[in-house]
Structure 1
Amino acid sequence: MEDLVNIERETLKESPVHGLDGRVKLIITFMIIVYAVGTSNILILAIMEVYLLTLIFISNVSLSYAIKRLILILPFGGFIALFQPFIRPGDVIWAGPLGLQITMQGLNFGLLLLSKITVSVTAVILLSSTTSMQELVGSARRIGVPADLAMLLNLTVRYLFFFYDELERIRNAQKTRCFDIWNERTPYRWRLRKVGETIAMMFLRAYEQGEKVYLGMLSRGYSPESRMYTIHSRISRGDVIFIAVNIFLLAALYLIQPAAG
C-alpha cells in the first residue's frame, strides 16, 4: 500500500508528460505494448526501452524509483523467460548433469521474451507514474470503456485507501494485545485463527461500508441508469505533438526493423 501512495505522489509532479491528456497516454501506452509484443527484434526493443527511460527522465519521475519498480515486477514474467533456454529445442550449446542443456534457440527466445516484458512493464510504469488512478479511470471511460466497469474501477480506487486504513486499525489493535504473526513462540494454529478473524473482520467492514455507500448514493439520486461523471477536456497541441512523435517513432522502427534484423 505504501507503494501505491508513492506512485500517487509521483503523479502529483509537474512535467510535460504529466500535463498530457490521460486518454493520449493510455492509447500511446497500449500502442507501445502491442508493438513490443509483436516485434521479434531485440535491437528495436532496446531502442524502445531507451525511449521510455528518456520519457521517464523528462517527466521528472525518479529514475531510481522507476528502475526499482521494474526490478520488483520483472521476476513475475522473467521467471518464464528464464526457463526458455532449457526447455526450447534447438542447437545445444551447453550440456550439464541430469540431462540439463541450453540451446541457442532457447537462449535467443528467452532474451527476446525478457526484452518484450521489460518494454511493456516500463511503459506501464511511465503511465502509472504520470497519471493518477482517478484520471486513468476517467480517461478509460472517455475512450469507450463500459460505464459499469468504469464505475466499479472508480469505486475501487476511491475506497482502496480507506480499507487499508481499516486494516491498519485492526493490526494496531492486535499489536496492543501483543499479537505478532511472526512470533515463533506463538502456536501456529492460533496464528492462523487470528489471521482468519482479521480477514473475516475486513469482509464485514467492507460489507457494512458498501451498504452505507450504496444508501448514500441512492439518497443522491443514483439509479441503474446513472452514469459516472467525467470531466470533458480537449486534446491540446502538446497532445497532438506527442501522438505524432510516437506514431512517427513506431513507424520508423517498423521500417528499419528488416535492416536491424
Structure 2
Amino acid sequence: MGAGAHPLYRHGDSAVHRAPAEVKVVCLLVFVLAVVATPREMFWPFAIYALIVVCLWRLANIPLRWVLPRMLIEAPFLVLALLLPLAEGGDRVQVGSLNLSVAGLWAAWGIVVKGTLGVAAALTLAASTSSAELPAALSRLGVPAVVTSVLVLMIRYIDLLAAEAGRMRMARISRGDSPRALHQARAIATGIGALFLRSYERGERVYHSMLSRGFDGAVPDLAVIGAPPRALARQWVATLTPAVAAVTVSISAWLIR
C-alpha cells in the first residue's frame, strides 16, 4: 500500500480525487443530512439521491464491482431493519404468509434506503481521499487537533491490526483449526482477546516512542505542516454541487408532501 493510502482508497486522477478534502467532507455531511431529513414516504427523492451518487462514481471512475462488496458493511443493520415489520405494532398488512406491521415497513424502508445512501456517499469520499489529506482537512474545519490525531492514527493502524488478525487466523488454520466449526468458538474468542492485548501493547510502545522523540502532549497545527493550499471559492462551489442538489431535493420533497 502506498504512502498516504488506506484500505478504502482507490487511486485515480479524476476531478473528484483532485477536489480539496475539506470541501468533500462538508459535502458528505450536508448530503447525508439532506438524505436523513427527507420524508421516508416520498420515493422519488431517494431515486435522485442514488442518481447523484452514481454520477459521482462515474466521474471518479469507481466501478460498481469495487463499491458493492464494500457496502456489505451495513448488512447487520439491514438485517435488524428487516425485523421491524415483524416486531412493530399498529396496523397490519398481509404479505404472502406474513402479517406485517405497516409502521414497521415504513421504518424498515427508511433505515434501508437512508443507510444505504449514507454508506454509498461515505465510500465515495473514502475512495477519493487519501489519509494524507485528512489531517489538514479536519484541522481547517475546526476539528480539535487531538481528535484529528486520534482519527489519523486509527486509520494508520487499522491496516496493521487487520494484518495481525490475518496472520493469527492463518496460524490457527495451519494447526488444524476450523473457524466455521462451533466447537472452535473458544479458540476464536481467545484469539480476539490476544489481538486486543497486542493492540494495547502496540499502542503503549507507540506512545513511549513519541515521548522519546519529544512529544509533550501538544499537537501541532496539522493544517499548516506540509499541507496543500486551501480550497478556493470556485472549488467550494463546484465540489458542493451534489450537496446543494440534495438539499434542494429534500426541501422540494417537504414542500410538495
Instruction: Indicate whether 1:21 and 2:11 are aligned.
Output: no
User: Where has structure 1 moved over 6 Å in runs of 4 or more?
Assistant: none
Question: How many aligned positions are there?
Answer: 247
Tell me the residue number matched to 2:160.
162
- The whole-number CA distance in structure 1 between the counterparts of 2:251 and 2:173 is 61
Cα RMSD between the aligned structures? 3.2
The change in CA–CA distance for 1:198 and 1:138 in structure 2 (over 3 A counts) is: farther
- The whole-number CA distance in structure 1 between the counterparts of 2:68 and 2:244 is 26
Instruction: Indicate whether 1:212 and 2:205 are aligned.
Output: yes
1:161 is displaced (CA, Å) by 1.8
The change in CA–CA distance for 1:104 and 1:57 in structure 2 (over 3 A counts) is: same
3-state SS of paired residue (1:101): strand
By relative contact order (CA 8 Å, sep 6+), the higher-ranking structure is 2
Query: Counterpart amino acid of 1:79?
Result: V
Query: Counterpart amino acid of 1:42?
Result: F
Identity %: 25
Tell me the residue number matched to 1:240.
236
Compute the TM-score of the two structures, normalised by the length of structure 1. Answer: 0.78
Q: Which has the higher helix share?
A: 1
- The whole-number CA distance in structure 2 between the counterparts of 1:170 and 1:123 is 33
Mapping of residues 1-261 of structure 1, within 5 Å = 7-8=8-9, 10=10, 12-40=11-39, 41-70=42-71, 72-86=72-86, 87-90=88-91, 92-94=92-94, 101-102=99-100, 104=102, 106-176=104-174, 178-182=175-179, 188=183, 191-192=184-185, 194-227=187-220, 229-230=222-223, 231=227, 233-236=229-232, 239-246=235-242, 248-258=244-254, 261=257
The change in CA–CA distance for 1:27 and 1:175 in structure 2 (over 3 A counts) is: same
1:104 is displaced (CA, Å) by 4.9
Query: Counterpart amino acid of 2:115?
Result: I
1:24 is displaced (CA, Å) by 0.8
Compute the TM-score of the two structures, normalised by the length of structure 2. Answer: 0.79
Query: Counterpart amino acid of 1:256?
Result: S
Structure with greater Cα Rg: 1
Structure 1 unaligned spans of 5+: none
